[in-house]
Structure 1
């Protein structure tokens, strides 16, 4: 279902989380559940994947993850502060101690000069509470390509968070 490199990384995340005894959660916007989908494609993932939040709208980010409406108004959904709040909210609203969040503009529309198509913000929280943020500007490479590249980045971040 997923490209081989994504399958390999998802498998590594699950194995690392099992070894570390860490439960994980995802908070996804522009990927619409693809990261959770990649993780659940791995046999044994139920041992460590607690839940995935698909929070496409601002309302969902606020209601399900506790992202403040003030933060969303001030910075917009596609921003570092919101990505960080989403990752922390995923841990706060689950049994997980590690999470990854993704929020971006997959295109083909919806971009602006400040937030162009292909801009994606990621954040990951590890079991010790450290939060890491990454910004990627993939460019206008097509909706599917932006989403798949985002899955790759998110899984790598989650792997680092689980093993940190």
Structure 2
């Protein structure tokens, strides 16, 4: 995490995040260092679909059509992060940490990510298979930290 914190400080970027399946773990990691207020703007924990709608402006149609665990929802979540913050960088995470909640098309470990970096939106989907709930959460946080460190 120190590398990402250094990059955010060096480039004078701020970050805001929306978390569903990680339940605040990314925010906790981003704020564990003294002086994090220089780069961390805010975090939204939007575990329920209604929270995604109320706090981030995710469309009901998107949730009904694609589900909460979809790249479409992740992109709407990160768009809501950027709209409702002063951040230069936005991240969203929504997925199935398990052990329940899986479907035929979306097994446990399916996690969708939304990113806003350098004025552009990106999405990604990862399947962290053969992992328990804690491992899926940690792998999701690690994925975000790795991606952001690489991009910055």
Deviation at 1:12, TM superposition (A): 1.8
Q: Which residue of 2 aligns with 1:7?
A: none
Deviation at 1:123, TM superposition (A): 1.5
Aligned-partner SS, 2:107? coil
Q: Which residue of 1 aligns with 2:145?
A: 155
Structure 2 spans left out of the alignment, 5+ residues: none
1:51 equivalent in alignment to 2:45: no
Q: Which residue of 1 aligns with 2:122?
A: 132
C-alpha separation between the residues in 1 aligned to 2:150 and 2:76?
19
Instruction: Give the count of matched residue pairs.
Output: 152
> With structure 2 as the length reference, what TM-score do the two structures score?
0.95
Aligned-partner SS, 2:42? strand
Question: Structure 1 segments of 4 or more deviating over 6 A?
Answer: none
Deviation at 1:115, TM superposition (A): 1.0
Deviation at 1:158, TM superposition (A): 3.0
> With structure 1 as the length reference, what TM-score do the two structures score?
0.88
Deviation per CA, 1:66-87, whole angstroms, max 9, x where unpaired? 1111111110000000111111
Match of 2:97 among 92, 106, 114: 106
Q: Which residue of 1 aligns with 2:27?
A: 36
Q: Which residue of 2 aligns with 1:142?
A: 132
Deviation at 1:160, TM superposition (A): 4.1
